[in-house]
Amino acid sequence: MQISSNIRGDNTIVKIDGRLDSGTAAGAEKQLLALVDGGARKIVLDCAGLEYVSSAGLRVLLALAKRVGGSQGRLALAAPAAQVREIFDIAGFGDILPVFATVEEAL
């Protein structure tokens, strides 16, 4: 799994490629929470390259949402593939976090 980020205005766009599962969750959580600790307050997760999310990956996203919310920030998920969107829907993520069809919509 690869995570990269760039700044657009006051938004941090984080691109996640690969699988977010038990094998990659700890490293992903460390990288994502470091962004918030470094000052990112408006984060858009670009999920277009995300192939799979396990329960461990969902836990990482919830931890990130909690950290961002505690910093008076905003987290949005963008462009998930159909199979990842289905996992988000089954887990009820649409009730917790906004999910957008594109990064542009999320911004």
Q: What is the mean pLDDT of residues 12-40?
A: 97
Residue 98 confidence (pLDDT) above 90: yes
Measured CA to CA, the distance from residue 86 to residue 31 in angstroms comes to 25
Q: Mean of the per-residue pLDDT values for the chain?
A: 95
Q: What is the mean pLDDT of residues 26-41?
A: 96
Least reliable range by pLDDT among 14-23, 39-48, 53-62, 87-96: 87-96
Residue 101 confidence (pLDDT) above 90: yes
Measured CA to CA, the distance from residue 107 to residue 91 in angstroms comes to 23
Measured CA to CA, the distance from residue 46 to residue 39 in angstroms comes to 19
Query: Which pLDDT belongs to residue 94?
Result: 82
Backbone phi, psi, residue 31, to 5°: -65, -45
